[in-house]
Amino acid sequence: SVRATVSHGPPGAPVIAYVGLPQGEANILQLLEHQRALLGAPVTHRQTARVGWRHLAEGRWPPADLVVVGADAARMDRLPDTTALTAPFRVHLVVDVPPSQEELQRQISRRERWEFNRNQRRHDWELQEDPSPEALDFFYRRMHRPTMRRRHGDRSRTESLSVARHAILPRGTLLFVTSGGRRVAGVLCHWSPDRRTLTTRLLGVLDGDEQHYADGAFKAVYHLLLRWACARRVPHVDFFGTEAFLSKGIFQWKRKFAPRVQVPPNHFSRKRIRLYVRNDTPGVRDLLVANPLLSWTAGPDGPRMTPTYFTDARRPPRLDVSARCPGLPEPRLLDLDAFLGGGR
């Protein structure tokens, strides 16, 4: 059996259930709860239960309007796929670093470039590499942990200091953004075995202070890291993982650096989520339209990730939630009347 968590909002709000891989409860369910809250329906309570995979395969679902299942691809193949969409469990956003700083700047969105350059003039940021054990302790205790606590509260999930010290730093490096010589932000990265890809793993700003977000220091980490990689001829910078929902704020921001979207280079590459719509209600339609996602579709060379937008006669597709990234196909518009008329 597997844990099922059912999330309720106010009366009439879509009830959302998550079943499967435990990481999805912390990431995917929270994301959908947040998006439901933006539509005026915050979480009122959660319920948990155990359900059998065999029951799910037979179409016996938790009591919810929208059920999200997280599982490996082999298990997912044994589950129904009617009135459902399948998506990657996680995706990585990887910037192919061009050979010159001028080309790098050209591939970053104009607005993002302008904002960084303005803030750079104000704060005189520089990037400083320091992979010493003392620097790691400072980064973890004064930057990463306070930032995670401030941004995510009790639901914060991160690597331990021991993992950072023994598993990440020996195969990576630690970089700080300084302003007037003072360290205000940092990023712990790891190298791929061939040292052609540098992946961001843990980030933070000094004391988790919101002012460093307002000043742009957090964003400066990414700008300066790409410049650092370009100067050292590092071919790829992996901005690490996020969910396959285009409405995720971090996806929308990182997209401004023109990354490729790819499956993670680890066990997550074999994991999927599947959205099952159990009840066709106005609230369910509103939630689906507000949350386009990268779904798996058939392509000429096998399955590929396709930006998928829900729509109906009353709800235009949210094409303003852009998926424009190198290598992604044109968006697919999914008519809810046809999709939800597929039978359950």
Residue 155's pLDDT band (cuts 50, 70, 90) = low
How high is the pLDDT of residue 97?
Answer: 99
> Among residues of the chain, what percentage have pLDDT more than 90?
93
Q: How many CA atoms lie within 13 A of 186 on its CB side?
A: 29
For the beta sheet containing 16-20, the strands, ordered from the edge strand earlier in sequence to the opposite edge, are 45-51, 2-8, 16-20, 66-72, 271-277, 84-88
pLDDT at 342 over 60: no
Q: Which of 209, 152, 141, 149 is nearest to 179 (CA)?
A: 209
The pLDDT of residue 77: 94
Count of other CB atoms within 10 angstroms of residue 335: 13
Q: What is the pLDDT of residues 184-243, one digit of tens each?
A: 999 999 999 999 999 999 999 999 999 999 999 999 999 999 999 999 999 999 999 899
pLDDT tens sequence across 233-258: 999 999 998 999 999 999 999 999 99
Ranges of H-type helices in 126-167? 133-138, 145-152, 161-163
Cα–Cα distance for residue pair 195/187, rounded to 1 Å: 17
Domains of the chain: 2-90+264-340 (no CATH), 98-234 (3.40.630.30)
Give me the pLDDT at residue 241, please: 86
Contact 4, 17 (CB under 8 A): yes
**What integer is the mean pLDDT of 145-151?**
92
Q: What are phi and psi of 31, to 5 degrees?
A: -60, -45
Q: Which SS3 state, helix, strand or coil, does residue 96 take?
A: strand
What pLDDT is stored for residue 284 in this prediction? Answer: 98
DSSP string, 180-196: TTEEEEEEEEEE-TTSS
pLDDT score for 156: 66
The Cα 132–Cα 165 span in angstroms is 10
Closest CA to 199 of 235, 164, 237, 165: 237
- Give me the mean pLDDT over the 288-304 stretch: 94
Which pLDDT belongs to residue 158? 87
Strand 332-335 relative to strand 293-299, pairing: unpaired
Q: Is the pLDDT of residue 152 over 80?
A: no
Q: What is the pLDDT of residues 94-122, one digit of tens each?
A: 999 999 999 999 999 999 999 999 999 99
Report, as an integer, the average pLDDT of 49-64: 96
Whole-number pLDDT of residue 344 = 40
pLDDT recorded at residue 343: 45
Give the C-alpha separation, 119 to 135, whole Å: 25
Inform me whether the pLDDT recorded for 6 exceeds 90.
yes
227-238 pLDDT per residue, tens:
999 999 999 999
* pTM score of the predicted model: 0.93
Residue 318 has pLDDT above 70, yes or no: yes
Helical spans, DSSP H, in 174-216: 210-214
Q: Match 């298990």 to its residue by tokens.
A: 75
pLDDT at 300: 86
Q: Are strands 197-205 and 236-242 parallel, antiparallel or unpaired?
A: parallel
